[in-house]
């Protein structure tokens, strides 16, 4: 998996994460969140990171974003070591992170303003991005006037406004309802193809990761390690109908198997045993309450 | 405020007292308020600009008188009237039931007092002096309280350094500062402004700190990964994000500032509304006491009204915030 690093890099946006380890706390309270994880994203590639909750996938992303420093290992984008957050890496968060006091357009302009771009240029860029997101008519609204899907679309184009090389997305559609999610996934693939940007996408939704990605990393339960790397051979552009094809279904089955083992491993041993035995409830001498 | 209130009218058409003319008004209001309403399709604009007629303006005003507002105004009017009646009858029949109305001036006497002194330079000068003291003390409290609050809220070391002192000084009421203040400052004026400042300072400081602490961390992370450095983060994210709490601090601070000012003026003052009231008591001019009290009430009300208005103007987004009643 690390062999890919020797490949020639033409475009920008190469994420290289090597042997990352993250531990929280010290001595007796030490918790190993991530252990020896190595991932990479080629320029223009769409890569998902999937795993049970609490497996450290968000920790990996926040290391690439620069919010957090790893205990071991190194992370770099285009050969440059990551030390702090920066506008070369756009981030889309799970929670809505638009500034409620700024209009939609001013939100999209924010990164450009920080970069010292003059007002008239900011305006043009922001408006064209909002047009792309289909939200130009809402440019003067405040975020609180919009639905969750709209907010997340603005969150995506806001992250793209400073022309970053990579886009980091931390379960961006996790808070949306299923119908909106599906639409958002298609919008995202369109945007991704237009910008030819590298994407690192965190999710726990198997179908979502297959539909969007070129490649998927599966993480183990804590301590998080890379358990498997799966290529998604489905052709582009992806369409909603593809989710019914046998190739898609097979991938879903494969990933489900991998994830299920880890989800069970992440649970308490008593529950895990019951889970593996198909929840054939065995009630102990003191009743069901005993296991808790 | 205009567009917001007309948006409310649209939202409750059943509340309209005159449904027939209100429809037209609502259509006009939609055209005006359309940027504020996400769910409405863009209204087709009238190609011929309609002239503003007096009738339409009157209709527009009438449409805003919903039953809800009417009831609210009615209840408010009744409660104020009841207060006046209590005062009127109390003084008219000189009631005595534990509290004594014997020496309390009647509303008419107070009104006479107002017409006598109301135009006198002395009364107006006293008001001007008090307002100036409030403005100075309050402005200094904002100038120190908000930046310090942002710094304490943002940086742990600044907090470690300042908070012990804040916690020691905070429980001391501004009035208790009066003797010290007279010793401390070279003249009377400065010491009264200082006491007013003390009254406003702590509510502003603590609410600013609270505002920074309650700011959603994801907004700070978003600001940082959009390229904001420390200074710009403070100015562009943390300050606007804390504004709602800062304004709470300003409103509370303004109230405490008035309390402190009046007390200081009564104790050590020359001039000012508090001095006016206390002097009236010393001179056994009872109507002037009540006039002084009412003046203080009106001035305090006006000051908090101004703060609320500035808040609405500076934070238009709050009208759409979840749970907003505005």
d(CA A13, CA A198): 6
User: Which residue has tokens 């939704």?
Assistant: A205
Give the Cα separation of A267 and A252 in Å (integer): 22
Contact: B227, A86; criterion CB under 8 Å = yes
In contact, A228 and A217? CB cutoff 8 Å: yes
CA distance A97 to chain B (A): 5
Estimate to the nearest angstrom the gap between the alpha carbon of B225 and the chain centroid: 37
Pairing verdict, β A166-170 and B96-97: unpaired
Q: What is the pLDDT at residue A166?
A: 93
User: Is B86 an interface residue toward A (CB < 8 Å)?
Assistant: no
Residue extents of the structural domains in chain B: 2-65, 76-104, 116-320
* Two tokens, residue B161: 């350094």
**Other Cβ atoms within 10 Å of A245 Cβ, number:** 11
Q: Is residue A117 part of a domain?
A: no
pLDDT tens for each residue of chain B, 326 residues long: 334 444 433 333 333 343 444 444 444 444 443 344 344 444 444 444 445 667 777 777 777 777 788 899 999 999 999 999 999 999 988 888 888 888 899 999 999 888 888 777 888 999 999 999 999 999 999 999 999 999 999 999 999 999 999 999 999 999 999 999 999 999 999 999 999 999 999 999 999 999 999 999 999 999 999 999 999 999 999 999 999 999 999 999 999 999 999 999 998 878 999 999 999 999 999 999 999 999 999 999 999 999 999 999 999 999 888 776 54
Let me know if residue A114 belongs to a domain: no
Interface ipTM above 0.90: no
DSSP E strand stretches across chain B: 96-97, 99-100
B225 CB neighbours in chain A (<8 A) are 65-67, 85-87, 89-91, 159
B4–A contact, CB cutoff 8 A:
no
Model confidence pTM above 0.90: no
A91 - beta bridge partners? A168
Domain limits at A227? 2-88+164-291
**What is the 8-class DSSP label of residue A23?**
E
B116-320 folds as: MetI-like fold (1.10.3720)
CATH number (domain holding residue A282): 3.40.50.300
List, in sequence order, every beta strand (DSSP E) within B107-221. Answer: none
Residue with tokens 């094809």: A245
Taking an 8 Å cut-off on Cβ atoms, the answer to whether B38 and A67 are in contact is no
Q: How far is the C-alpha of A142 from the C-alpha of B326, rounded, in Å?
A: 15
CB A99 within 8 A of CB A93: no
In this structure, is residue A268 part of a structural domain? yes
CB contact under 8 A, B226 and A142: no
Residues of B in contact with A140 (CB under 8 A): 35
Residues 266-285 of A with CB under 8 A from B: none
Total number of domains constituting chain A: 1
């Amino acid at each position: 998996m690390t062999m890919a690093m020797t490949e020639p890099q033409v475009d920008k946006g190469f994420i290289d994460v090597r042997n990352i380890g993250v531990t929280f706390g010290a001595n007796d309270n030490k918790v190993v969140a991530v252990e020896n994880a190595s991932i990479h994203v080629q320029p223009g590639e769409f890569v998902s990171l999937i795993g049970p909750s609490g497996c450290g996938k968000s920790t990996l992303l926040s290391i690439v974003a620069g919010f957090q420093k790893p205990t071991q290992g190194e992370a770099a984008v285009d050969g440059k070591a990551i030390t702090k957050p920066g506008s070369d890496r756009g981030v889309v968060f799970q929670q809505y992170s638009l500034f409620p006091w700024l209009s939609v357009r001013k939100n999209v302009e924010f990164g450009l303003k920080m970069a010292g771009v003059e007002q008239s240029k900011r305006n043009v860029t922001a408006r064209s991005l909002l047009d792309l997101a289909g939200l130009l008519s809402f440019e003067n609204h405040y975020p609180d006037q919009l639905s969750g899907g709209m907010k997340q679309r603005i969150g995506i184009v806001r992250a793209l406004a400073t022309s970053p090389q990579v886009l980091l997305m931390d379960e961006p559609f996790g808070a949306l309802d299923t119908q909106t999610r599906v639409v958002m996934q298609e919008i995202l693939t369109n945007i991704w193809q237009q910008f030819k940007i590298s994407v690192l996408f965190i999710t726990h939704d198997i179908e979502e990761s297959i539909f969007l990605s070129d490649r998927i990393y599966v993480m183990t339960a804590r301590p998080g390690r890379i358990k498997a790397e799966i290529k998604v051979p489905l052709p582009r552009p992806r369409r909603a109908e593809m989710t019914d094809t046998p190739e898609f279904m097979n991938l879903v089955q494969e990933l489900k198997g991998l994830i299920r083992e880890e989800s069970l491993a992440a649970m308490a041993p008593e529950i895990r045993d019951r889970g593996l035995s198909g929840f054939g409830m065995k009630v102990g001498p003191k009743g069901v309450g005993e296991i808790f | 405020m205009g567009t917001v209130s007309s948006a409310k009218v649209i939202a409750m058409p059943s509340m309209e007292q005159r449904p027939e003319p209100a429809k037209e008004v609502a259509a006009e209001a939609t055209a005006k308020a359309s940027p504020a309403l996400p769910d409405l399709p863009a209204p087709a604009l009238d190609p011929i600009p309609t002239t503003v007629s007096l009738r339409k303006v009157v209709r527009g005003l009438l449409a805003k008188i919903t039953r809800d507002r009417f009831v609210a105004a009615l209840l408010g009017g009744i409660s104020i009237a009841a207060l006046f009646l209590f005062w009127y009858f109390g003084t008219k029949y000189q009631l005595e039931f534990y509290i004594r109305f014997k020496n309390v001036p009647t509303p008419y006497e107070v009104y006479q007092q107002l017409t006598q002194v109301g135009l006198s330079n002395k009364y107006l000068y006293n008001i001007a002096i008090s307002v100036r003291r409030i403005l100075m003390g309050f402005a200094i409290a904002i100038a120190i309280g908000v930046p310090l609050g942002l710094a304490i809220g943002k940086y742990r070391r600044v907090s470690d350094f300042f908070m012990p002192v804040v916690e020691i000084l905070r429980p001391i009421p501004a009035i208790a500062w009066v003797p010290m203040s007279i010793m401390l400052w070279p003249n009377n004026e400065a010491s009264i402004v200082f006491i007013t400042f003390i009254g406003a300072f702590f509510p502003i400081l603590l609410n600013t700190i609270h505002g920074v602490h309650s700011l959603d961390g994801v907004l700070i992370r978003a600001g940082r990964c959009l390229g904001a450095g420390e200074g710009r983060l403070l100015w562009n994210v943390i300050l606007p994000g804390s504004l709602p709490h800062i304004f709470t601090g300003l409103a509370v601070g303004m109230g405490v500032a008035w309390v402190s000012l009046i007390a200081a003026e009564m104790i050590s003052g020359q001039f000012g509304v508090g001095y006016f009231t206390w002097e009236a008591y010393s001179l056994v001019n009872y109507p002037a006491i009540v006039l002084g009290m009412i003046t203080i009430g009106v001035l305090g009300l006006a000051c908090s009204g101004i703060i609320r208005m500035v808040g609405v103007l500076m934070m238009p987004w709050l009208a759409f915030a979840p749970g907003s009643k505005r």
